[in-house]
Structure 1
């Protein structure tokens, strides 16, 4: 979470901060992640993947990690960071917008064997907004669908890990502040895989969805 000194002066309290403890400067912290287990990482300035390694560090099972990027990393940086920790995995991506640099990064992860399979939902207007990028994804990504979507969800799963990233960021270069959450539990991953697969298969998944409706094993692709 991000706080400014002006908010403290107005009487805002910060959980875990004792009265009189040294406060942060007025400059907003760029790139921060906190963990639900109560261990807060120090704010570190840096760029992209290097900063993610410092700010988040190692993953643990069953964690909830809220983050704010401060414009310091993009979704493809975060995807690479997660894949470094999970090892080769099946990846599901949904995004409203897409640009060339993240696409080429994803293809590089695939060629290196970090991505075993790739399933994507893209907003249908990508085809008109960025035809060059559309031609690229159309030629190299087999399991994909153009649909009406604004959700930005990434799921990374294999036999040992099930990681979900839900954030405000598209798969574009993200110089603005974006925020989201990383969840390392199987239920969240399975829930998201379930509706993504059903949309891929034209099964109208979102009339009503709750987590108890999860059916798929997050470590396996849909048939």
Structure 2
């Protein structure tokens, strides 16, 4: 009979602090399968960002647009850290509209906020995301509100990203969501203040009308 077998049904909890049991816990180590999955996700994300960076070696000039068709080797979200890097500044103002998104991209959004790359973040998603991806929805909402940012859910299917600084107004319009997209997708990346403000206006109107949350 092992220490653990003996302890079941007993009031004696000394086994919990025994050297033997502590050593067994130490020997077990980290949950390796989870660690491998996390490492794989990070590697895949890094590769996708690298591909996006190769496609977008520079920002569009004022009034210029880049039209891109992807073959599934990178995702919509891959452009966002790349554009942030090309903007080469802190405090970028971010608006993101998508039907749904995954946890990894929400985590990267939080990282950009925590490092000060993004100064403000506003997320707009579809009701589908709130209902069908409840755990990721809760993760996103909690993370945004803790960081003093904004979120709204409504019957949304628009995929638009705004990244603004005093000198640039980058708009990314595309067919894909903020998820993994192993399909042919199209994107237009534009540097245009009027287009940026056009999208910002309807996003702000949905924040005012919709089921929105504002962090403090």
The alignment's TM-score, normalised by the length of structure 1, stands at 0.68
Whose RCO is larger (CA < 8 A, sep 6+)?
Answer: 2
Instruction: For structure 1, list consecutive stretches of 5 or more residues without a partner in the other structure.
Output: 1-45, 204-223
Indicate whether 1:131 and 2:134 are aligned.
yes
CA RMSD of aligned residues (A): 1.6
8 Å Cα contact 1:91/1:119 also seen in 2: yes
What corresponds to 1:201 in structure 2? 208
Indicate whether 1:107 and 2:114 are aligned.
no
What corresponds to 2:168 in structure 1? 161
8 Å Cα contact 1:102/1:173 also seen in 2: no
Instruction: For structure 2, list consecutive stretches of 5 or more residues without a partner in the other structure.
Output: 1-45, 211-216
Deviations 1:28-58 (A, max 9, x none): xxxxxxxxxxxxxxxxxx9412122222211
- What does 1:31-42 align with in structure 2 at a 5 Å threshold? none
Instruction: Give 1:180 shift.
Output: 1.4
What corresponds to 1:29 in structure 2? none
Indicate whether 1:191 and 2:198 are aligned.
yes
Instruction: Give 1:105 shift.
Output: 1.2
Q: Higher helix fraction: Structure 1 or Structure 2?
A: 2
Aligned length: 158
8 Å Cα contact 2:53/2:79 also seen in 1: no
Counterparts of 1:102 and 1:62 in 2: how far apart (Å)? 28
The runs of at least 4 aligned residues of structure 1 exceeding 3 Å deviation read: none
8 Å Cα contact 2:67/2:188 also seen in 1: yes
Counterparts of 2:47 and 2:195 in 1: how far apart (Å)? 29
SS of the counterpart of 1:199? helix
Counterparts of 1:174 and 1:102 in 2: how far apart (Å)? 13
What corresponds to 1:120 in structure 2? 123
The alignment's TM-score, normalised by the length of structure 2, stands at 0.70
Q: Which has the larger radius of gyration?
A: 2
Instruction: Give 1:72 shift.
Output: 1.5
Counterparts of 2:139 and 2:55 in 1: how far apart (Å)? 33
Counterparts of 1:55 and 1:121 in 2: how far apart (Å)? 27
Deviations 1:99-143 (A, max 9, x none): 111111111111111111001111012122111101101102231
Which of 92, 97, 107 is the equivalent residue of 1:94? 97
